[in-house]
Structures are given as C-alpha cells and as structure tokens.
C-alpha cells in the first residue's frame, strides 16, 4: 500500500494527540452537519453521514450533539450554513498537499490558508495541480491487539480489505471506497476496536524531505490542523 512510512506512524500519533483537544468535536460536528445537508438525515441511506456518526461515536462525541448536528444539517434546527471545498498546493520541499475545508466563509478561509502556506515556504496551486498524485481509498484505523500480525492480516483480508499495515500501536486497513463500511463492520463484529473509518486520498508515491524541510513541514501541518475550518489534510510527505 502506498504511504507506508515513518509519516504514517507520526500521523497516527498526532491523531491520538488531537483527540485530546476539544476542537476535534467541532470538526466532527461540522462533518456531520454537512453530510446531513448534502445527503439527508437518514443514516441508513446516507453513507457519508453513517461514516461521520460512526467516527464521532468512536471519539466519544455525545449523542445529543450528534443529533443536533444532523438536525442543523437538514434544516430542522437553525444553524450556520457550511460549504465544503478542497484546496491544492505545495509545502516546503515541493510536498503536495490537499486541504479539505468545511467553512462558513470561503473568502476568510482561503486567505488564512494562503498565508499559512506562504509562511512555511509553500503556495496554493490551481485545481488539479496535485490531486492527480493521489488515489481515493478507504482507510480504517484499529487499535493493536495481542494477536500476531499474520492473524490480523488474515482477518482483514477475510473481511474484504485490499491491504494491511501494522504501525506503532495501531493497524491500518485499506479498502476500496465502496467497501469501507462493509469491512469496518466486519472487523468491528470480529472484536477489533475501530478508531476511525475514512475515505482518504492516498499518495501514489512519497516526496522525501531532509530533516530541515521535514521539521518545517510538520510545523506547517500543525498550523493547518489548528485552523478550525480545516477538516482533513492529505500529503505525500515522508522523510529519511
């Protein structure tokens, strides 16, 4: 699977740290709200909403907040109107970056993103400038277990996964987009603890940075993820 790297382990550790921040709830609520607005409030008929609610529950978002987010998305409750947009650009060392945004003010957000990229020697690109470097795939993060990696690999493949990777204290299972929730449910029913199940943009190959550029990129990533309007960041970054 593309993207098996030191960066995969750093990303997982960063994700675990981010879950300690209250702002992760804000991002989960935004995703639920826009998923409801675009596909309706019925979880059974809205795959994106089902995925968003599943991830919210895994992150212990209270049920009343989930229900309110759904109702705000469908218009049953008043709330902010969010738009979704993806910006493409480059970071330090020419690393490709896709930034998924959920915002109530695109003009404000694009100015903030442009400023952050410029601050760390990056820049915004045109639509399509870097998206061709990525493939869309399902990505499931599971807690590691005492079973051997071979056993987990076999369970993942039996569940319908395309590939499997054992990281530092986590497992990464790759699926096709349309099989993401099917595989997730099978692994969940098999006793695995699912931390998240997302449709991700996976790099076809990695851009290797030296230590100086890698540190600069990680600072850029922290700054982007601290922005409340940034939903997800995808990159082909890796380091020696």
Average pLDDT value for residue range 28-55: 93
Going from the N-terminus, what domains does the chain have, and what CATH number goes with each? Answer: 6-74 (1.10.10.200), 83-132+204-239 (3.30.70.980), 135-203 (3.30.70.980)
For 134, 171, 197, the CA distances from 52, given in Å and listed in that order, are: 22, 20, 9
pLDDT for position 53: 95
> Which pTM does this prediction carry?
0.83
Q: pLDDT per residue over 112-159, tens digit each?
A: 999 999 999 999 999 999 999 999 999 999 988 777 888 899 999 999
Please tell me the predicted confidence (pLDDT) of residue 3: 44
Structural tokens at position 203:
């790099």
State the angle between helix axes of 63-74 and 47-58 in degrees (0 to 180), rounded to the nearest 10.
150
pLDDT at 219 over 80: yes
The pLDDT score that the predictor gives to residue 2 is 42
Percent of the chain scoring above 70 in pLDDT: 91
Which of 23-27, 94-98, 153-157, 219-223 is least confident?
23-27
Check residue 112 and give its pLDDT.
96
The DSSP code sequence of the chain is -TT-SHHHHHHHHHHHHHTTSTHHHHHHHHHHHHHHHHH-S-GGG-HHHHHHHHHHHHTT--HHHHHHHHHHHHTSS--PPPEEEEEEEE-GGG-EEEEEEEES-HHHHHHHHHHHHHHTT-EE--TTSSGGGEEEEEEEEEE--SS-HHHHHHHHHHTT-SEEEE-SSEEEEEE-GGGHHHHHHHHHHTT--EEEEEEEEEESS-EEE-HHHHHHHHHHHHHHHTSTTEEEEEE-EEE-
What single string gives the DSSP state of each residue in 10-39? HHHHHHHHHTTSTHHHHHHHHHHHHHHHHH
| First-residue to last-residue Cα distance in the chain | 18
For residue 29, what are the contacts with CB-CB under 8 A and spacing of at least 6? 56, 61, 65, 69
């Amino acid at each position: 699977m593309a993207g098996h790297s030191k960066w995969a382990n750093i990303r997982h550790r960063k994700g675990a740290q981010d879950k300690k921040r209250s702002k992760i709830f804000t991002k989960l609520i935004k995703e639920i709200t826009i998923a409801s607005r675009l596909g309706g409030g019925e979880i059974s008929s809205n795959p994106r909403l089902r995925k968003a609610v599943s991830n919210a529950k895994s992150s212990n978002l209270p049920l009343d907040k989930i229900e309110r987010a759904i109702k705000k998305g469908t218009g049953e409750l008043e709330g902010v109107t969010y738009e979704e947009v993806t910006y493409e650009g480059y970071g330090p060392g020419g690393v490709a970056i896709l930034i998924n945004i959920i915002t109530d003010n695109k003009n404000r957000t694009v100015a903030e993103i442009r400023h952050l990229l410029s601050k760390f020697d990056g820049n915004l690109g045109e639509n399509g400038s870097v998206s061709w470097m990525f493939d869309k795939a399902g990505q499931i993060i599971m807690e590691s277990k005492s079973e051997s990696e071979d056993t987990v690999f076999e369970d993942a493949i039996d569940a319908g996964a395309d590939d499997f990777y054992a990281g530092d204290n986590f497992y990464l299972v790759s699926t096709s987009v349309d099989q993401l929730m099917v595989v997730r449910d099978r692994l969940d029913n098999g006793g695995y603890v699912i931390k998240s199940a997302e449709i991700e943009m996976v790099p076809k190959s990695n851009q290797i940075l030296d230590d100086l550029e890698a540190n600069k990129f990680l600072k850029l990533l922290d700054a982007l993820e601290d922005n409340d309007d940034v939903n997800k960041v995808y990159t082909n970054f890796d380091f020696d």
